[in-house]
């Protein structure tokens, strides 16, 4: 503490820690890291190097947290105008100056890229860079306020970790990791469009084009169902790009069909209840897919044969 400075207020440090954690979007960061883990295991490394996996986890989490902080900083004006986000640390004026988030974000993102490049390989660092640039520059700064294609193109930010995981495991992008990246890319629109239908009034209020057609929820609901249906062939393609045991193949296809069934009511009834149902299924869906792929690696190692 600087000489003559004020004493710290009781509870302020823990509050600051919570705010910084909020800026890192821990839920999204955890999912991003799990996608990277999925990419690591579908690449089928001949030897499971736990140290490389640990470095992937740390550098991937740093990159994702840094990109999330930059997203918070760039969206601070929109967040202040939406009920759902108005109490976040920056619009809630709990982080002053707001530029602290940008500085920390750049440090974390840059640190994650550099550490992955040095400790793993440049291709892993490049993959983290690609994901960060897509989320911060392409999605947040460029497309989000301009076009309803924002989440479609910006969805690649969630696919890049699968490529990073493969690069960390075997030093290249394997066909299976590319198939996983495509599945995550296709998962992003129905996941987020379900949320956008749920919060359509808030997005309309701030002028964000977050649905295929903001003024036509019926059309948007049908697009969600079609986009969810694309996950079925994507899961099938993933199962064919590498040895997948029959239990895991069943899980992949059943989970994808389940997503279609969860989203199906949106075809004729694009109301909040139907949107909530699709959104609540979408997160666990991807979690199940990724955990199944990790389990598949173990099943192959103990003698199960692939399809």
Render pLDDT for 230-284 as a digit per residue (tens, 0 to 9): 999 999 999 999 789 999 999 999 999 999 999 999 999 999 999 999 999 999 9
Average pLDDT, the chain: 93
Query: b/e map of 81-104 (b: 16 or more CB within 10 Å)?
Result: ebeebeebbbbeeebeeeebbbeb
pLDDT digits (tens, 9 = 90+) for 129-146: 999 999 999 999 999 999
Indicate the Cα dihedral angle 212, 213, 214, 219, nearest 10°: -100
Query: Is the pTM above the cut of 0.85?
Result: yes
Q: Tell which residue, 143, 165, 146, 164, has the closest CA to residue 154.
A: 143
pLDDT digits (tens, 9 = 90+) for 194-203: 999 999 999 9
């Amino acid at each position: 503490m600087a000489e003559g400075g004020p004493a710290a207020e009781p509870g302020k440090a823990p509050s600051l820690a919570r705010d910084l954690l909020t800026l890192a979007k821990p839920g999204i960061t955890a999912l991003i890291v799990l996608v990277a883990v999925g990419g690591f295991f579908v690449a089928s490394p001949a030897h499971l190097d736990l140290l490389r996996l640990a470095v992937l986890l740390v550098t991937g989490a740093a990159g994702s947290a840094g990109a999330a902080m930059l997203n918070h900083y760039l969206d601070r004006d929109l967040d202040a105008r939406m009920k759902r986000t108005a109490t976040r640390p920056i619009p809630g004026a709990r982080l002053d100056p707001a530029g602290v988030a940008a500085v920390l974000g750049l440090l974390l993102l840059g640190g994650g890229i550099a550490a992955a490049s040095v400790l793993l390989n440049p291709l892993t660092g490049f993959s983290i860079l690609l994901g960060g640039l897509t989320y911060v520059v392409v999605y947040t700064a460029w497309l989000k306020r301009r076009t309803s294609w924002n989440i479609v193109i910006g969805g690649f930010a969630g696919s890049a970790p699968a490529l990073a995981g493969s690069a960390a495991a075997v030093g290249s992008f394997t066909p299976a990791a590319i198939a996983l990246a495509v599945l995550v890319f296709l998962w992003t629109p129905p996941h987020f469009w379900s949320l956008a239908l749920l919060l359509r009034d808030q997005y309309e209020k701030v002028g964000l084009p977050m649905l295929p057609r903001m003024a036509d929820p019926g059309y948007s609901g049908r697009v969600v169902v079609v986009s969810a249906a694309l996950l079925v062939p994507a899961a099938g393609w993933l199962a064919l790009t590498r040895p997948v045991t029959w239990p895991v193949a069943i899980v992949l296809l059943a989970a994808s069909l389940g997503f279609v069934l969860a989203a199906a009511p949106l075809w004729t009834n694009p109301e909040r209840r139907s949107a909530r149902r699709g959104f609540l299924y979408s997160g666990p869906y991807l979690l199940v897919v990724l955990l199944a792929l990790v389990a598949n690696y173990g099943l192959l190692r103990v003698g199960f044969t692939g399809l």
